[in-house]
Amino acid sequence: MMECCPRTQGEHFEGSSSEPAPKGRDRTAQRVSPGSAQTRTTPRMGGASVRGASCPFHTSHARKRFAILDHVLAIALILCCTSICALSQAMSKGIMSPPANVRPPGLKNVAIEQRLNEQIPPQLVFRDETGKTVRLEDYFGKRPMILNLVYYQCPMLCGEVLSGLESALRVLKFDIGEEFDVLTISFDPRETPEMASAKKAEFLKRYKRPRAEQGWHFLTGPQESIAALTKAAGFQYEYIEKTGQFAHATAIMILTPDGRISQYYYGVEFAPKDLRLGLVQASDNKIGTLVDQVLLYCYHYDPATGKYSAIITRIVRLSAIATILTLGVMFVALSRRRTTT
C-alpha cells in the first residue's frame, strides 16, 4: 500500500537539477525543454508524478468549430452594418432647390421642372460636331442615353457640369458607345459645329475610351429646336442682355432608349453609383449584372433629391435571409463533421 506523505526537503521536480526549487515557485510546475511536447504535471503522490497529454484531435476540432463561428459572426456583423448605413442614408433628405417665390431677382424663370416619362421630340433637327444635319430620332432606339444641356462658350457652370459628368463616367465600367450614349446639346442658337467639335475633342481626350467618339455627340441647332427640346425637358433658362450670357440651372437627364426622361441628377458632380443604377433601370435591365438587380431591389430613385435612397424593409429582409442561410450552412457543416468523427 502506497502512503501519501509530504515532500521532504531532498525531493525535487522531475527533470530538474539536483538543487532544491526556489522558494515561492509553484511546485507543480515542470520545466519543458525546447521542442519537447507540452505536458501537464499533477502534484506528486508518494514520489510519483502523473502526467497527461492534451488530445490533438479534440483541440483541432474545437478550433475549426470556433473558426466557423467567427466567420458567421463576421458575416452577421457586416449585414447589420450595411442595414445601419442604409438607414442613415435613407434618413438624410439631400439638398433641395428653393421655390420660385424665393429665388433671387432675375432668376425666377431659371429652374428645372421635372417631367419624368416625358417624350423628347424625336423629329427635332440639329447639327452634329461635323456640321451634318441630324434628327434626335437618329440616336433613339439603341441604348439608354444621358442628356445634358449646356452652351459651349459658358464661362463657368457648363464647363463644370461637363467636367463632373466626364469624371463620373470615367469611373463607370460601362463604356460610352457600348452600354449607353451621351447627348450634349447647346441651348445657344449662335453656337456653331466648330465650337461643338472643339468641345468634343477636349472631353474625349480626357475620357480616353475607344468607342466614345461614336457614342458621345455634341450638337448645335436653331432656336425652334432648342425651345422645343428645353420645354420637353423642363429646362428653364434666361438670356441676360447686359452680359450676353445665360442664367441657367445645372442638371443632367437619363433617357430611355426610346427617348423618354427617366431620371434627373442635379449639380455639377454626379455619383457614379447613381448613374450606373439609373442607366440600368432606364435600359429596362438590359445592361448591368445580377448585383445591379439586387441593388435596384434595395434602392429606389427619389425624384425630390435626384438620388437613389435605400428601401430599409427590403435591405433588412435580405439581411435576415442571408443570416438564416449562413447559419443553416454552418449547422449542416458542423453536423457532417460530427458524423464523420
What are the strands, taking DSSP E only, across 125-212?
125-127, 133-135, 145-150, 181-186
Instruction: Quick: pLDDT tens for 325-337.
Output: 677 677 677 777 6
Domain annotation covers residue 185? yes
Name the residue range of residue 192's domain. 107-284
Specify which residues 236 forms β-bridges with: 111
Q: Is residue 86 part of a domain?
A: no
Rg (CA), the chain: 36
In a domain, 218, yes or no: yes
Among residues 94, 82, 97, 15, the alpha carbon closest in space to that of 301 is found at 94
DSSP string, 77-125: HHHHHHHHHHHHHHH-----PPPGGGSPTT-TT-EE---TTPBPPTT-E
The tally of domains found in the chain comes to: 1
Looking at residues 281-288, what average pLDDT do you find? 79
Q: What's the rounded mean pLDDT across residues 166-178?
A: 95
* CATH number, position 260: 3.40.30.10
Say if residues 287 and 257 touch (Cβ distance below 8 Å).
Answer: no
What is the predicted pLDDT for the residue at 59? Answer: 54
Asked whether residue 311 is domain-assigned, the answer is no
Q: Is there a domain that residue 139 lies in? A: yes
Model pTM score? 0.61
In the chain the first and final C-alpha atoms are separated, in Å, by 41
More confident: 324 or 32: 324
Is 303 inside any structural domain?
no
Residues in the chain: 341
Query: In whole angstroms, what is the distance from residue 186 CA to residue 221 CA?
Result: 7
Question: By mean pLDDT, which of 50-54, 207-211, 215-219, 274-278 is the weakest?
Answer: 50-54
